[in-house]
Amino acid sequence: MRADPATFLLGGDLEVFRLGFGSMRITGAGIWGDPPDPAGARELLRHIVERDVNLIDTADSYGPEVSERLIAEALRPYPENLVIATKGGFERPGPGQWVPNGRPDRLKRCCESSLLRLKLERIDLYQLHTVDPKVPIEDSIAALAELQDEGKIRHIGLSNVSVEQIERAQQIAAIVSVQNHYSVVDRASEDELRFCEDAGIAFLAYFPLATGELAESGTALAEIADRHGATPAQVALAWLLQHSRVTLPIPGTGQIAHFDENIEAAELELEEDELEALDELAAAS
């Protein structure tokens, strides 16, 4: 039975629309500094919640700090049902540079700083952005569990992880979400998705629109898009929503028009034979 692209109960108590928003792109080039049009970024964020999207994913490293700051500037006082998910675990020495740092003391400082920037007393979903090869994941998650015990984190999630790392983290704290790169053309995290499905854990798919050459004329993806009067990107999002009941795509953009195009994918219902064709296409890519 295919999943219905509607809502997901994140952590068992936070109902979110399954098509969320990734806020990495509301920063400058190289995910560094302010965006070219900060006022436009704030307008986009307000538009997002007006369209009933209530899951916004960010991170302290986006900017760094820029994305979180813009979210607070644009959306406070926050709508009651808005879920802000942020992350810690990367250092940013410069544009395009990402250095893992999962030391417990630093993660605690990162979370405290995110609380201040977002102007929140508790973060609904705080995610370990990446596993630091120099720090056992158990130590990183233990730090987040302490913050959870202090009431500063509601739920704990992971990002850029393997099944083995998820299982190790689960020995330390309850894990409610996994955020990995996943799209119709990149299914390297299929094992992680299926693990989440079995466990009832949310799977946040980032970079979900990497359609590449498969969007070109004559491909199955393009033909299905033409059949529905949709774009290949919309079909790619619809496939994600119907591929698994736990998948929460979080496409990002800096443009209202592009966001509106993405959100329309939630209304696109693909036929069973179309889903199967895209399954086969993705598996062969």
Active site residues: 62
Residues linked to residue 90 through DSSP beta bridges, in sequence order: 100
Maximum C-alpha span of the chain: 55
Contacts with 14 (C-beta within 8 Å, 6 or more apart), sequence order: 83, 124, 125, 154, 155
Query: Distance (Å, rounded) from C-alpha 279 to C-alpha 285?
Result: 10
Measured CA distances, 209 to 22, 30, 216, 246 (Å): 12, 19, 14, 18
Measured CA distances, 23 to 71, 86, 197, 254 (Å): 9, 10, 25, 8
